[in-house]
Structure 1
Amino acid sequence: MTYDFVLSLPPFVFKVKNNIKFVFENACAMYGEACSEQLAGDEFIDFTLSINDGGGLRKIFKPQARFLCDEKEPFKPLTHSQAYAMLEWGMNWTVAAHEFSYVIIHSAVLEKDGKAILFPAPPGSGKSTLTAFLANNGWRLMSDEMALITPNSKTVTPFVRPICLKNASIPLAKQWFPDSVFSSIAKDTHKGDVIHMAPNKSAMLGKQQTAEIVGVVFPNYDTTKSLEIYQLNMAESYMQLVDNAFNFTAIGEPAFSTITRIIEQVRSFEIFYNDLKDVEAFLSEDVID
């Protein structure tokens, strides 16, 4: 039996061929009305994905999940219970590998009062926990993973997706946000235990509302440090943004000029913190205002 579905996630539409029931159930829970069984009349498909079990005897004795994008398989199969997380990661890979109309930076994006802040960060920095906190405390989630920036501008386009939480942040998020919707847990992935938290109503309502970048913040969660703030010079900010840009080499000059525009026109900070409320106050008072 198949459980195919369509995800309408501006600026992209994904067709997902799928025979794993809980993947469909999780997608419906995470995306609500943006997940449907058929394509809307005025839409066209940008990417065709597949998430399926391995088939054959392995399906019985050691079930796995396989991800394909346009019939190409970029990843090795994962444990069957990790199938939904694999789909989310596969969607990230698909956009990063194939989309060239935006400069794409590995970054969370949060908006307040029409102004957006980028939060580029490597795994383990606490980015997604900070994102979840801000998204439930007066900020609009534009993305947890990707900043889609219009070339030669500071305009960022939303790509609203679930927030990916890992390990110790999972029980914290469930305690802090008991009314939020969470996916099933993917245990023992290469990132540890992983769960996805659905975008809230304000994020979905604003899924086509762009914003102008007014700041770049590189977050570092550190239990031993109260809030420490360091303003970066343009060279430091440039190098870190380039390191986090998925398609910098592929796009070339437009990516260079876009990142240069950002570092010349907005301030960049590196922060160390152990209290999310302190970070929110800094962002609201010193970056947004």
Structure 2
Amino acid sequence: MQPDNYHGFVDYRVSITHSGGIRRLINDQARFQCDKMEPFKPLNRTQAFAMLEWGLNWVVAAHEVSHLIIHSAVLAKDGKAVVFPAPPGSGKSTLTAYLSRNGWRLLSDEMALVTPLTSTVTPFVRPVCLKNDSIHLVKSWYPDDTFSTIAKDTHKGDVVHMAPGDMAVARESEQAEVVGIVFPRYNKDVFFDVYEMDQATAYTTLAENAFNYTVLQEQGVKSVVHLVENATAFEVEYNSLEELDSFLTEDVLGAAHVK
């Protein structure tokens, strides 16, 4: 996947290829390879683009050790970032899509790359992964945006990837400072409810979402401690994206002072 005019350093060589032999004629499949390794089982070729995105995420999550990696969306305003760790089904990617089109800069929909022992987060700008009901919802909000075709019946259900906005791409090398940690959960029956977490709870929950926390050992522990000591952490349950946006801007970013 190296452009012809690229002359920089290559970290990994990845590819999506067809299955070989007679299988290609009977049930064509897509195969993801990284430096000739094949970490995943082949998928139906209609899921090839989704597989590529998941593969690129895997490459970083499995090999990157110069950053603390948190399974989280990351968005920023005015150099201040909020990380959104959340399990599947919490509405994280729908929230990410909304914020990234309403004045927030997308750094990542999937991974926060935090410089160890600091609050500095480096962008990992990738498409936003929308699943199931959120696909039609986000498309109705932003009909002029660019979306992939639907990859149906994946292990995550139906999946579409939404292209990152122009601001995210233009500023993909611009770091930000984490000032807020927000664990969001969409609930259609709750307008907006917020709970400020104590540092011990925030530490435990954030560590559970860190891919390489144990790999970094003492540095990983100290890095998570630094984040929870220098950012305010909240659990948020909501059905109003506008109310959540206002809370993030006024109460999280507005109260923060980047050192």
Q: TM-score range by the shorter chain?
A: over 0.9
TM-score by length of 1: 0.86
Q: What's the counterpart of residue 249 of structure 1? A: 214
Q: What's the counterpart of residue 83 of structure 2? A: 118
For the pair 1:224 / 2:189, whether they are aligned, the reply is yes
For the pair 1:79 / 2:44, whether they are aligned, the reply is yes
- The one-letter amino acid of 1:239's match is T
Q: What's the counterpart of residue 257 of structure 2? A: none
Q: What's the counterpart of residue 202 of structure 1? A: 167
1:39 deviation in Å?
4.8
Q: What's the counterpart of residue 278 of structure 1? A: 243
Give per-residue Cα distances to partners, 1:252-285, cap 9 Å, x unaligned.
1111111101111111001000111111011011
Q: What's the counterpart of residue 94 of structure 2? A: 129
- The one-letter amino acid of 1:198's match is A
For residues 249-268 of structure 1, what are the structure 2 equivalents within 5 Å? 249-268=214-233
* Matches of 2:212 and 2:76, distance apart in 1: 23
- The one-letter amino acid of 1:86's match is M
Q: Which runs of 4+ in 1 moved over 6 A?
A: none
Q: What's the counterpart of residue 38 of structure 1? A: 4
- Give secondary structure in 2 for the equivalent of 1:148: strand
* Matches of 2:176 and 2:71, distance apart in 1: 17
Q: What's the counterpart of residue 149 of structure 2? A: 184
TM-score by length of 2: 0.96
RMSD: 0.9
* Matches of 2:79 and 2:60, distance apart in 1: 25
From 110, 118, 126, the counterpart of 1:145: 110
- The one-letter amino acid of 1:40's match is Y
Q: What's the counterpart of residue 201 of structure 2? A: 236
* Matches of 2:87 and 2:120, distance apart in 1: 23
* Matches of 1:104 and 1:134, distance apart in 2: 22
* Matches of 1:212 and 1:75, distance apart in 2: 34
- The one-letter amino acid of 2:86's match is A
From 103, 110, 120, the counterpart of 1:155: 120
How many residues in Structure 1 have an aligned counterpart in Structure 2? 254
For the pair 1:97 / 2:59, whether they are aligned, the reply is no
Identity of aligned residues (%): 55
Give per-residue Cα distances to partners, 1:16-74, cap 9 Å, x unaligned.
xxxxxxxxxxxxxxxxxxxxx32523x11111112111111111111111111111111
- The one-letter amino acid of 1:251's match is L
Q: What's the counterpart of residue 287 of structure 1? A: 252
- Give secondary structure in 1 for the equivalent of 2:13: strand
Moved more, 149-158 or 178-187: 178-187
* Matches of 2:37 and 2:5, distance apart in 1: 22
- The one-letter amino acid of 2:185's match is N
Unaligned runs of 5+ in 2: 255-259
* Matches of 2:230 and 2:38, distance apart in 1: 41
- Give secondary structure in 2 for the equivalent of 1:164: strand
* Matches of 2:74 and 2:64, distance apart in 1: 18
